[in-house]
Amino acid sequence: MSSTSASFIQKRFKYDVFLSFRGEDTRNTFVDHLYHALHQKGITTYKDDERIEKGETIGDQLVRSIEESRFHIIVFSKNYASSSWCLDELIKIMECQKTKDQTAYPVFYDVEPTEVRNQSGAVGEAFAKHVEKEGAGRWRDALKEAAGLAGWELKNTIDGHEAKFIQTIIEEISPKLHFINLSVDENLVGMHARVKNVVSSLEIGPDDVCMIGIKGMGGGGKTTLARAVFDYISIQFEGKSFVENVREGSKGSGLKELQKQVLQDVLSDKSIDVKSVYDGKNMMKKMMSNRKVLVILDDVDDIDQLKALAGEPTWFKPRSRIIITTRDEQVLIAHRVNFIHDINLLSHEEAICLFSRYAFGREIPNQGYEELSGKVVHYAHGLPLTIKVLGSFLCGRIERDWEDAIERLKTIPLKETLEKLELSYNGLEDDQKEIFLEVACILKGEMKGK
C-alpha cells in the first residue's frame, strides 16, 4: 500500500478483540472456547482473567484495554446484566462504538435480542437489582443500543452448535481484521491496489479450489505482492504455507523437502517426514483434502514443481486458494490455473516515491535532485528491486556520481540492469563492491555468497 495515501492509514490497536462477558455464566465454557479459537487464528484477544496485571486496578486496566481494542465482542448471557461491572464495561464499549475505528458485536448466547433490548425475561430478572441505582438509566440505554447492533444469536445459527457457532464468528471477524498495515513495511508503495486486484481474482468460484498465477519479470515485485496477499488473507484459512524460491529449492532432491514444508506448515506438525516425491504426492492428497488452505508457491519455473506441490484441485478442501508466482506464463497455462495476474510495475510517481525513500529518506527528491531522480527512475523501468538498490547506492553521493550512473544506465540493456545492476558496480573499489552487493542482497532478503 502506498503510504502517501492518508485514507489507508488506520489507528493502531494493541488488541484485535476485547471480550466482554459474565464470568460465572461463560468464563469456563463458551467464552473460553471462543478465546482459544481466536488465539489459534492469531487474533490478539483481551480476556480479563488472562491479562490482569499485578499493581493495577482492574477497572483502570479494563477501560484502557477497551480503548485499545479494534473490535468488542459482547457475550450476553442470562446473568450479564446482574453485574454492574459488566454494565459499566458495556457503557465504555458503546462510547468506543461511536468512533469510526472501533466496532462492537453482540453475541446472544442464551438470551434473545428482545430480552436485552427491553430488559425482559432472564435479562430483566438479572437487571432488577439495579433498577433503583443511580446509573440504571445509562445502563438501560447501553443495553438497548447494543441489542440493536448486528451480531450473532446462538439458537438461530448452525442449529445452536457451539463449535460451528464459534467458527462462524471467526470467519466473519477475520477478514475485517487483516488489512495491510503500514507499520509492517513503511517502504511499500502502491501495494494496496495491487493486493485488492489479486484478492478479487481469488473470488472466482468462491466455493471451489482456486489456483491463480502472478507472472512477470524478475525483480518486478511478484514475491513482495504474494507475501502481502498472504499476510492479508491467511487468517481466513485452516492451514497456510508460503514456499519461497521453489525454482532453487527444488533442485536435486529438494522437491520432497518442499512437500514436507507444505505438509508441516498446513498441518502444524513438524514431525511429518516425506521419503520421496511420489510418497509426498500421496500424503498431500490424503492429509490436506479436509482442510481449507492457502498455499503460496513462489518463483516456480517447471510444471513438475506444480505437479508435486499442487497437483490437482482435488488435493485440497473446497475454498482453498493456491497462488503461484513465476516468470514463465506457459507453466501456468500448462497447469490450467483459474486466472493469470500480470504484475504491474511501478508507475512513474510510485517509482519516484520509492526511490526517494531510499535515496533521501523522504517521499520526494531533495531540492535540486528532481530532474536527476526522474532520469534514474526512467531507466529503472519501474522495477522495485532495481529502484531500491539504485536509491541505496546513490544515497549521499555527489551530483557527478548521479550523472555517471545515468550515463551507464543508458547503455545497459534491461536484462543486465535487472540481473547484475552493473551501472556503477564495475567502477567501484573492492570494498565498495562488497558494500554494494551487501545492500542488494539485504534488500532482496538473501545472503551474499562468500
Q: Which residues are catalytic?
A: 89
Residue 214: count other Cβ atoms within 10 Å of its Cβ: 27
**CB of 370 closer than 8 Å to CB of 378:** no
Q: Name the amino acid, one letter, at 190.
A: G
Sheet holding 15-20, edge to edge: 45-46, 15-20, 69-76, 103-108, 152-153
C-alpha cell at 264: 508441516
Q: Parallel, antiparallel, or unpaired for β 45-46 and 339-342? A: unpaired
